[in-house]
Amino acid sequence: MQILVTGGAGYIGSHTLISLHEAGYDFVVYDNLCNSSKESLKRVEKIINKSISFEQGDIRDKKSLQNLFKKYKIDSVIHFAGLKAVGESVEKPIEYYDNNINGTLTLLEVMKEYKCKKIVFSSSATVYGDPHTTPIKEDFPTFATNPYGRTKLFIEEILKDLYISDNEYKITILRYFNPVGAHESGTIGEDPNGIPNNLMPFISQTAVGKREYLNIFGGDYETADGTGVRDYIHVVDLAFGHVKALDYLNIQIKNKKPLIVNLGTGKGNSVLDVVKAFENASNKKVPYRIVERRAGDIAKCYADPSYAKEILNWEAKKTIKEMCEDSWNWQNNNPNGYIQGEKK
C-alpha cells in the first residue's frame, strides 16, 4: 500500500518524504512542478538512499490522476499541492481558486472512484484571520482575508461535508503556523521564486549577500519590541507531524469526524528576535530598515499546540536557534537554491 503525496517535490512535501520513509511508509509523489523541480526529489533520494516513485501531473487533470490510482495501490493521500503566495492570490484569484479548489475537488473525485478515503490536508493558520487573542486554539473562529486563505477555508468545509456524506472518510486537517528551516544535511530547503515574500528566506538571502537589507514591515505593533510576532516551526518537526497524522488515521476507528489540529510550537518570536537568532547562527550581519506595515499583516499569531500533543502525541522540538542554523546551512550551501549557477 502506498501513500500518495501531492505536491511532494515542494518545500514541506520534500521534507515529509524523509519522515515517511523513516517511519516505514511507502509513497508515490505527484507534482506538476509549477513551484518546484525534480532536483529536490533527487536530493531526497540521496538522503534516504532509495529511488522515489514520481509521476508528473496536475491535480486538476482527472485522467492523469485516474492513471495514477490505476498504477499504484494508494491507501491514503497527503495533500500538499497548491499555490500559496498570499499577495499573488489577490492579483490572480481565479488561478488560486482553480488550482487549489478545483484541484482538490478533482483529487477527491478520483479518490472516491478508487475508494480511497483517508486524507491529510495542508491548511494554514491563515484561517484564523486576525485572532482576538493568542495563543490560538483550534476552536477559534475562522476567517479569511485573501483568496489564498479562502481556498484553505473552503477546502476545510468541503472535507467536513465529505465526511457528513460518508462517515467512512478519515480526514485530518493540519493548520501549519510558520514553517522555516531545512533538513540537517543542508541539501534540501525552501527555494522561493524571485524575491521572497516570507521572512526567513528573505533574511537568509540578505545574509548570503543576495539582498542588500531586510525591510521590517512595521515597528509599531503592540508587541514587546513593536515588530510582528509569529510561531516559527522547523519544517522537520512539521514533517513528522504528518507521520503522526497518518498513524492516527490508520489506527482511528470509523465514524470519527475530521480532526483539525494546529501544528506550531506555541512560542511567539518577533521579527527582531528572528534577525538576532539568525545573525548568531550564521555569524553574518543582517542589515534591516523598519518600514510601513505590510497590508493584511497582523500583530501576533502563535498556536496553542496542546491538542496536537494530546491527540497525535506530537510536539515541536526544535528551537529558533536550530531553525536559523538549518536555514543558513541550506542557503549557504545553495545560494541559488536547486538551480546551480547564477540564476535568480
Q: Among all residues, which ones are annotated catalytic?
A: 148
Could you tell me if 57 and 32 are in contact, meaning their C-beta atoms sit under 8 angstroms apart? yes
Residue 269's CB is within 10 A of a number of other CB atoms, namely 21
Could you tell me if 7 and 33 are in contact, meaning their C-beta atoms sit under 8 angstroms apart? no
Residues in 124-183 at the binding interface with ligand UFG, rule: CB under 6 A = 124-126, 176-178
Residue the block writes with cell 509569529: 230
Choose the contact partner of 297 out of ligand NAD, ligand UFG, none; CB within 5 to 8 A by kind. ligand UFG
Work out the widest C-alpha separation in the chain, in whole angstroms. Answer: 56
- One character per residue 295-314, x = contact with ligand UFG (rule: CB under 6 A): --x-----------------
Could you tell me if 6 and 30 are in contact, meaning their C-beta atoms sit under 8 angstroms apart? yes
Could you tell me if 186 and 135 are in contact, meaning their C-beta atoms sit under 8 angstroms apart? no
Smaller CB separation from ligand UFG, 68 or 207: 207
CB of 66 to ligand UFG, least distance (A): 31
- One character per residue 158-197, x = contact with ligand NAD (rule: CB under 6 A): ------------------x--x------------------
Does 334 participate in binding ligand NAD (rule CB under 6 A)? Answer: no
| Closest residue to ligand UFG using C-beta atoms | 228
Smaller CB separation from ligand NAD, 32 or 265: 32
* Amino acid letter, residue 177: F
Could you tell me if 81 and 6 are in contact, meaning their C-beta atoms sit under 8 angstroms apart? yes
| Closest residue to ligand NAD using C-beta atoms | 10
- One character per residue 77-106, x = contact with ligand UFG (rule: CB under 6 A): -------x-x--------------------
Residue 38 to residue 21: CA distance in whole angstroms:
18
Smaller CB separation from ligand NAD, 85 or 284: 85
Residue 216 to residue 290: CA distance in whole angstroms:
5
